[in-house]
Amino acid sequence: MKKSSLTPKLRNNWLIDVALFFSAAFALLSGIYFLVFPIGGFQGGRNPYYGIIILFSRHTWGDLHTWSSLIMIAVTVVHIAIHWKWIVGTTRRIFKAIFHRSETLGTRLLWNIFLDAMIGLSFIICAASGVYFLFVDKTSTTIFLFSRTVWDLLHTWSGITMSMAAILHFTLHWKWIVNITKKMFSTPRARPSISNQNKAFDSIQ
């Protein structure tokens, strides 16, 4: 494999972002499937979508949604841990700008903070509700904080909010993504040796 021109830190960030992107993409696509086809089973003939297969069976879509979501949660934890200093520093800057007015925040940074906050909050709600559905059987009548219907609404709308905010976040950082991706697959330029530089200089003379 060719050696990347990126620093090890940027290369690791890129790899984590790629893992986050693909796991989120699979979770989103499988989530859209269940949004379009919310009811499973024959339902005594009342389910018009029964027997319809879109690429995979309903069971496979369920497994894809579960495992891609779990991978996304794990990668997100790593992503937050790596960027924790930035999160803490940015939070301090926000409080200084609000309460002390000793610092001004640029428009791009404000948008970035807003989108990150939306993604973070909706991610927590979506992940928590997803864990609920993972461990609480659909036939169970046990109520944990909310009814199953409320958990379903929280999971659906937090997922939609997170997806929209993530797309805007992706758009905002598009130039950085393209630039870093190009560098990821480009080899670093070797600096000419002193002897080669001298030869080039002699040829000019």
Is 184 inside a domain boundary? yes
Is 124 inside a domain boundary? yes
Query: pLDDT tens across 157-172, in order?
Result: 999 999 999 999 989 8
> Is residue 198 very low, low, confident or very high in pLDDT (cuts 50, 70, 90)?
very low
Is 2 inside a domain boundary? no
pTM: 0.75
Is 199 inside a domain boundary? no
User: Judging by beta carbons within 10 Å of its beta carbon (0-12, 13-18, 19+), is residue 47 exposed, middle or buried?
Assistant: middle
Distance CA 46, CA 69 (A): 30
- Give the pLDDT of residue 201: 39
Specify the CATH number for the domain of residue 64.
Answer: 1.20.950
Q: Pick 135 or 7 by higher pLDDT.
A: 135
Domain that residue 118 falls in: 8-189
Q: Pick 164 or 189 by higher pLDDT.
A: 164
Query: pLDDT tens across 97-140, in order?
Result: 777 666 677 788 888 889 989 999 999 999 999 998 888 877 77
Using the predicted structure, report yes or no on whether residue 200 has a pLDDT greater than 70.
no
Q: Residue 108: CB partners within 8 Å, gap ≥ 6?
A: 172
Distance CA 192, CA 17 (A): 34
Is 196 inside a domain boundary? no
Average pLDDT over residues 176-183: 86
Q: Are 155 and 129 in contact (CB under 8 A)?
A: yes
Is 3 inside a domain boundary? no
Distance of CA 136 to the CA centre of its chain: 26
Is 201 inside a domain boundary? no
> Is residue 30 very low, low, confident or very high in pLDDT (cuts 50, 70, 90)?
very high
Per the structure, how many domains does the chain have? Answer: 1
- Give the pLDDT of residue 183: 84
Is 12 inside a domain boundary? yes
> Is residue 197 very low, low, confident or very high in pLDDT (cuts 50, 70, 90)?
very low
- Give the pLDDT of residue 106: 77
Q: Are 94 and 113 in contact (CB under 8 A)?
A: yes
